[in-house]
C-alpha cells in the first residue's frame, strides 16, 4: 500500500520534480554506502577547515584584546581592561577611569593629574569623577556615595618598569595556557560527537601556531614598554595618577545576584541541575558580572565558550550545528540557559556512567573548567571510559582528593575548590536559593 501511494505521489509530480526526487534518493544511498576511508578523509578536511576558521576568529579577537591593553599601558601604565571579574569604565577624555573588581568587591577611582596640582583641586577632580561613576549602579548593585570619604586618597606614578612588564608578559602566558586547554576540550568534544579520532598532527600544528602567536604578542608588548620608557625619560613633564578605593557595600553581592535568580531557578528545573551549583559556577566564573569576557575567549555570566560548550549546547539542545554568538552570550537569560545546559550535558552524557552522584558532581565541576579529558588524566587515563571505571571504585572523598592532587592544571584545582565551597555556602543560605 505504501509503495502504491509513493508511486501515485510521484506520478502527480512534474517530470523535473520526479527526476530531482530520484537524484536526491540516489545521493542519499551513495552517502550511506560511502567507504569508511572516504568518510574519514572528509571528516579530516572538515576538521582542518573548522580549526583554521576558529583560529582566524580567535586571532582577530586577541588582536582587539591586545589593542585595548596597549591603550591602557600607554595611558595608565598597566593592562587593566574588562575581563572576567573586572569592569572598567574610562571617561571620554581618557583622564579618569573606574575599576570595578567584583571578586575583591572593591571600586577604584583613578584620575590623571598634573604634578603640582593643589590637594583641594585634586579632591575636587576625584569627587567629580566619583559622582559621575554612580551611573554604574546597575553593575554594582548599590550606590557608593554613602561610602565616600576620600580619607585614603593616594597617588602613584605611571609605572613602566621591568617588573610591570614581566607581570603583563605573565598574563599572556596564562592566557595561552587557557587557550591550549580550550583547544584540548574542543578536540575531545569533536571526537565524542563525531565518533572519529582527529588528526593529532593537525592539532599539534594548531597548538604550535598558538604558541608562536603568544611569542609574537610578547615581543610586541616588550616594544610597547620600551617605547614608553623612552618617552618618559625624554619628557620633563610628569603626570600622576590619583587613586581612591572603596569597598562595595555589604549588600552588593546579594543585589547583583537578585536579577538572575528567576532564570537560575527556571534553567535549574529545566535541566535538573541544583540551583546552588549554578550560583557557585557563576560566582566563580564572573562574580555575577554580566559583561565578563576572557581571552579564551569566553563570554558572560557563566563564561561560555562559543565553539566548545556553546556549540555542544546548540547541537544537543537547540538542534543547530553551529557555534554560539558572542553577543547572545552577553544576554543573561541566554547565557544562564547555555551554561546550565552544558552542566547537564556533562552530567547526563559525558560523565553519566559515574555511579555516585557526588563523585560525578566533582568531575562535572572540573570538566566545566578544563574538559572531561583532563579529568580522565587526573586518574592516570587517556580515555574517559577507563577513568570512569577507576572512579567507580573510589569514595567521593577519594575522587575529590585525586582531582585536587592530580588535575594537570592548578587553575582547575583552585576552580574545583572554590565552586565546591561556594556551592555549600549557597545551599546554607536558604534565602539565596
| Alpha-carbon distances, residue 357 vs 59, 319, 353, 362, 389 (angstroms) | 40, 28, 10, 9, 15
C-beta neighbour count of 3 within 10 angstroms: 7
Cell numbers found for residue 306: 562559543
Is residue 317 in some structural domain? yes
Amino acid 8: pLDDT:
44
pLDDT digits (tens, 9 = 90+) for 114-125: 776 677 777 777
Judge if 106 and 233 occupy the same domain. yes
Residue 242: phi, psi to the nearest 5?
-85, 130
Strand, helix or coil for residue 105: coil
Read off the pLDDT of each residue in 263-287 and give the average, rounded to a whole number: 98
Judge if 310 and 222 occupy the same domain. no
pLDDT digits (tens, 9 = 90+) for 241-261: 988 888 888 888 998 999 999
Read off the pLDDT of each residue in 376-405 and give the average, rounded to a whole number: 96
Is residue 287 in some structural domain? yes
**Helix/strand/coil (H, E, C) string of 48-100?**
HHHHHHHHHHHHHHHHHHHHHHHHHHHHHCCCCCCCCCEEEEECCCCCEEEEE
Please report the beta strands in 102-141, taking only residues with DSSP state E, as ranges in sequence order.
106-114
Amino acid 35: pLDDT:
62
CA-nearest of 349, 339, 412 to 375 is: 412
Outline where 346-409 has alpha helix (H): 357-370, 372-378, 384-391, 396-406
Cell numbers found for residue 32: 550511506
Which of 27-31, 56-60, 364-368 comes out lowest in average pLDDT? 27-31
Q: What is the pTM of this model?
A: 0.84
d(CA 162, CA 147): 36
- Burial class of residue 397 (count of CB atoms within 10 Å of its CB; 0-12, 13-18, 19+): exposed
Per-residue confidence band for 146, with pLDDT thresholds at 50, 70 and 90 = low
Q: Which of 202, 223, 249 is the last residue of a domain?
A: 249
Judge if 149 and 59 occupy the same domain. yes
Amino acid 141: pLDDT:
63
Read off the pLDDT of each residue in 314-332 and give the average, rounded to a whole number: 94
Judge if 273 and 411 occupy the same domain. yes
Amino acid 127: pLDDT:
77
- When mean pLDDT is compared over 44-53, 206-215, 391-400, the highest value belongs to 391-400
Asked if pLDDT for residue 354 goes beyond 80, the answer is: yes
Judge if 280 and 182 occupy the same domain. no
Judge if 84 and 144 occupy the same domain. yes
Judge if 259 and 241 occupy the same domain. no
Show the domain range for 320. Answer: 252-428
CA-atom Rg of the chain in angstroms:
26
Residues 6+ apart with CB under 8 A from 222: 165, 169
Read off the pLDDT of each residue in 51-55 and give the average, rounded to a whole number: 76
Judge if 115 and 189 occupy the same domain. yes
Sign of the CA dihedral running 325, 330, 331, 334: positive
| Alpha-carbon distances, residue 148 vs 89, 110, 128, 248 (angstroms) | 18, 14, 12, 11
Read off the pLDDT of each residue in 421-429 and give the average, rounded to a whole number: 92
Read off the pLDDT of each residue in 50-58 and give the average, rounded to a whole number: 78
Cell numbers found for residue 417: 575548590
Per-residue confidence band for 15, with pLDDT thresholds at 50, 70 and 90 = low
Is residue 13 in some structural domain? no
The CATH code of the domain that includes 277 is 1.10.530.10
Amino acid 193: pLDDT:
65
% of the chain surpassing 90 pLDDT: 57
Is residue 25 in some structural domain? no
Judge if 222 and 284 occupy the same domain. no
On whether the CB atoms of residues 376 and 351 are closer than 8 A, the answer is no
Per-residue confidence band for 10, with pLDDT thresholds at 50, 70 and 90 = very low
Judge if 292 and 211 occupy the same domain. no
Residue 88: phi, psi to the nearest 5?
-120, 125
pLDDT digits (tens, 9 = 90+) for 221-232: 999 999 999 988
More confident residue, 132 or 366: 366
Q: Which of 218, 249, 280 is the last residue of a domain?
A: 249
Is residue 198 in some structural domain? yes
Is residue 392 in some structural domain? yes
Read off the pLDDT of each residue in 276-291 and give the average, rounded to a whole number: 97
How many domains does the chain fold into?
2
d(CA 271, CA 297): 25
Judge if 84 and 194 occupy the same domain. yes
Is residue 21 in some structural domain? no
Asked if pLDDT for residue 32 goes beyond 70, the answer is: no
pLDDT digits (tens, 9 = 90+) for 293-316: 999 999 999 999 998 899 999 999
Q: Which of 233, 249, 265 is the last residue of a domain?
A: 249
Asked if pLDDT for residue 385 goes beyond 80, the answer is: yes
Read off the pLDDT of each residue in 29-46 and give the average, rounded to a whole number: 59
Is residue 24 in some structural domain? no
Read off the pLDDT of each residue in 24-36 and give the average, rounded to a whole number: 57
Judge if 258 and 140 occupy the same domain. no
Per-residue confidence band for 183, with pLDDT thresholds at 50, 70 and 90 = confident
Asked if pLDDT for residue 238 goes beyond 90, the answer is: no
Amino acid at each position: 500500500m505504501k509503495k502504491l501511494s509513493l508511486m501515485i505521489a510521484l506520478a502527480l509530480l512534474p517530470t523535473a520534480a520526479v527526476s530531482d526526487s530520484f537524484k536526491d534518493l540516489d545521493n542519499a544511498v551513495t552517502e550511506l554506502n560511502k567507504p569508511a576511508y572516504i568518510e574519514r578523509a572528509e571528516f579530516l578536511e572538515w576538521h582542518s577547515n573548522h580549526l583554521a576558521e576558529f583560529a582566524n576568529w580567535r586571532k582577530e579577537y586577541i588582536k582587539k584584546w591586545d589593542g585595548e591593553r596597549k591603550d591602557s599601558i600607554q595611558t595608565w601604565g598597566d593592562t587593566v581592561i574588562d575581563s572576567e571579574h573586572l569592569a572598567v569604565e574610562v571617561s571620554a577624555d581618557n583622564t579618569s577611569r573606574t575599576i570595578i573588581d567584583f571578586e575583591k568587591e572593591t571600586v577604584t577611582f583613578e584620575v590623571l593629574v598634573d604634578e603640582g596640582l593643589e590637594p583641594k583641586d585634586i579632591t575636587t577632580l576625584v569627587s567629580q569623577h566619583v559622582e559621575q561613576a554612580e551611573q554604574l549602579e546597575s553593575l554594582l548593585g548599590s550606590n557608593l556615595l554613602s561610602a565616600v570619604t576620600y580619607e585614603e586618597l593616594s597617588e602613584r606614578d605611571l609605572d613602566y618598569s621591568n617588573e610591570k612588564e614581566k607581570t603583563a608578559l605573565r598574563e599572556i602566558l596564562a592566557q595561552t595556557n587557557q587557550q591550549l586547554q580550550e583547544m584540548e576540550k574542543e578536540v575531545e568534544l569533536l571526537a565524542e560527537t563525531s565518533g572519529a579520532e582527529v588528526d593529532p598532527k593537525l592539532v599539534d600544528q594548531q597548538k604550535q601556531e598558538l604558541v608562536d602567536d603568544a611569542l609574537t604578542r610578547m615581543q610586541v608588548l616588550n616594544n610597547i614598554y620600551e617605547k614608553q620608557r623612552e618617552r618618559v625619560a625624554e619628557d620633563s613633564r610628569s603626570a600622576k595618577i590619583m587613586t581612591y578605593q572603596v569597598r562595595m557595600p555589604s549588600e552588593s553581592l546579594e543585589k547583583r545576584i537578585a536579577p538572575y535568580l528567576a532564570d537560575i531557578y527556571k534553567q535549574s528545573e529545566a535541566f535538573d541541575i541544583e540551583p546552588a551549583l549554578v550560583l557557585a559556577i557563576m560566582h566563580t566564573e564572573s562574580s555575577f558580572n554580566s559583561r565578563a569576557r576572557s581571552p579564551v575567549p569566553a563570554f558572560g555570566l557563566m563564561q561560555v565558550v562559543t565553539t566548545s560548550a556553546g556549540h555542544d549546547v546548540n547541537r544537543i539542545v537547540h538542534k543547530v550545528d553551529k557555534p554560539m554568538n558572542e553577543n547572545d552570550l552577553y544576554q543573561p537569560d541566554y547565557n544562564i540557559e547555555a551554561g546550565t545546559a552544558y552542566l547537564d550535558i556533562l552530567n547526563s552524557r559525558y560523565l553519566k556512567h559515574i555511579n555516585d552522584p557526588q563523585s560525578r558532581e566533582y568531575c562535572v565541576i572540573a570538566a566545566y573548567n578544563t574538559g572531561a579529558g583532563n579529568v580522565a588524566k587526573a586518574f592516570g587515563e587517556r580515555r574517559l571510559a577507563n577513568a570512569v571505571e577507576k572512579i567507580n571504585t573510589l569514595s567521593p572523598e577519594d575522587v575529590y582528593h585525586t582531582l585536587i592532587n592530580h588535575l594537570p592544571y592548578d587553575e582547575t584545582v583552585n576552580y574545583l575548590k572554590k565552586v565546591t565551597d561556594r556551592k555549600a555556602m549557597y545551599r546554607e543560605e536558604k534565602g539565596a536559593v
